[in-house]
Chains A and B, each alone.
Chain A
């Protein structure tokens, strides 16, 4: 009985387990798995990341006005879907130039809204990729 009283009294002065969010911001760890970021200038267009990605969240599709990168002979453009990505980092490990062409940040993706057209636009890209493969 006495010990439970002492415990209950001590609990009055205990700090809470929870964080007072948003007054206290949540500190994101440096190694937290976040968005995959891409450096267009250093990319050599080997497409290893595209092949390695388990859910297929990276697609290189041909475009009308490709970037001026001299390695980009096929006129491709990098497309990344953060809502399909599982943040495993397999693409970064496959990349021959990690930290320059492709790296993993600790940033979280924005919440997708309807105006982002995440699904419809991405399905068009997937279709394009499929057509390119069958050619």
Chain B
């Protein structure tokens, strides 16, 4: 009997996908034996636009539109890279407020990912519950920045809006509500059959393979690889506000969910610490001059390490802006995980990666 394989595509439009990515699976019966991926469906030429259409002080707003979910990380990485070139120190309060929004963004992004994992497991009620609770975070983001998603909060030299007492009070109230909800999710994700037992052992990545395929973000941390940019950079005081590395050893879908849940808890703790110990000072320092030279900046986006490379020659237009996004770096690891799994599990595995294609294709 000859071995015959069949090709089944997943995407670019598929019921389980949020964003356009295409995986072409080569299947032997139900088993996936080969994977081919295509990620360039939403290319918008943002890197090119940054060097031809916009001046350096407007690019912070342009790169924020690369991705809706990690808009803050994009604009922050770019802004910090430019601040590095211009020189000058920004106030501690602005740094703390930047971390606050960064962590709020991480909370809502992880909640979105968890809700879609539930949806792909066929647990619609949980999906709606998490999406409903996510509104608590969106509400405080709107109070703090004026927008739900495109915050436009970071500007070169600091942040755009100050935090008043009433907003801080509302944030603390809502975060306490979210914390109680997250504990209930942890309970569901550990004890519910659809979410824990069904996901255990599915889509596993070993620690060796995580090293080999250069996995980053929650995908790597779920395999026990302690890699987090927040732990490595000194620019923002993450250690002062109580950052703790969250890792898991299993490497499967359940492990990724648990890492995300624990990260939400850690982020909530960090937000609380920031609000209780917010330093006094100005939120904005005017920086003068034009960027000259090269700068490289890394930040931890909700999906992993985001890297910005900026090159300027002392004029208002930059020579080069290069964006390396977390999902793009994880594509080899994604493809490897699919090998040997059943085709029916593919949507659930894909949802657990939390891929962001608008970042990747930019």
Contacts and interface: CB of A to CB of B under 8 A. Distances in A.
Nearest to B143: A29
Contact of A54 (B58, B142, B147): B58
A17 B132 contact: yes
Contacts of A89: 146, 152, 160
Contacts of B36: none
Interface residues of B, number: 17
A54 B54 contact: yes
Interface string A47-69: 00000101000000000000000
B150 A86 contact: yes
A54 B62 contact: yes
A88 B58 CA distance: 10
A38 to B, nearest CB: 19
B147 A87 contact: yes
Contacts of B58: 54, 90
Contacts of A33: 145-147, 152
Interface string B27-68: 000000000000000000000000000100110011000000
Contact of A88 (B54, B142, B152): B152
A31 B152 CA distance: 13
Interface in B141-172: 142-143, 145-147, 150, 152, 155, 160-161
A129 interface: no
Given A17-B132, A32-B142, A86 B61 contact: yes
A93 interface: yes
A11 B51 CA distance: 54
Interface residues of A, number: 13
A102 to B, nearest CB: 15
A88 B61 contact: yes
B282 interface: no
Given A17-B135, A88-B152, A89-B160, A32 B61 contact: no
Contacts of A54: 54, 58, 61-62
**A contact patch SS:** loop
B262 to A, nearest CB: 24
A25 to B, nearest CB: 17
Contacts of B54: 54
A44 B161 CA distance: 25
Contacts of A17: 132, 135
A31 B146 contact: yes
Contacts of B147: 32-33, 87
A87 B61 CA distance: 11
A29 to B, nearest CB: 6
Contacts of A88: 61, 152, 160
Contacts of B155: 90, 93
Contacts of B135: 17
Nearest to B135: A17
Interface in A82-120: 86-90, 93
Nearest to B152: A88
Contacts of A86: 61, 150, 152
A1 to B, nearest CB: 13
Interface string B121-144: 000000000001001000000110
Given A54-B61, A90-B155, A32 B146 contact: yes
Contacts of A31: 143, 146, 161
A-B residue pairs, 7 tightest by C-beta? A54-B58, A33-B146, A88-B152, A17-B132, A54-B61, A31-B146, A33-B147
Given A54-B58, A90-B58, 17 more contacts: A29-B146, A31-B143, A31-B146, A31-B161, A33-B145, A33-B152, A52-B57, A54-B61, A54-B62, A86-B150, A87-B147, A87-B152, A88-B61, A88-B160, A89-B146, A90-B61, A90-B155
10 contacts: A29-B142, A29-B143, A29-B146, A31-B161, A32-B147, A33-B152, A86-B152, A88-B152, A89-B146, A89-B152
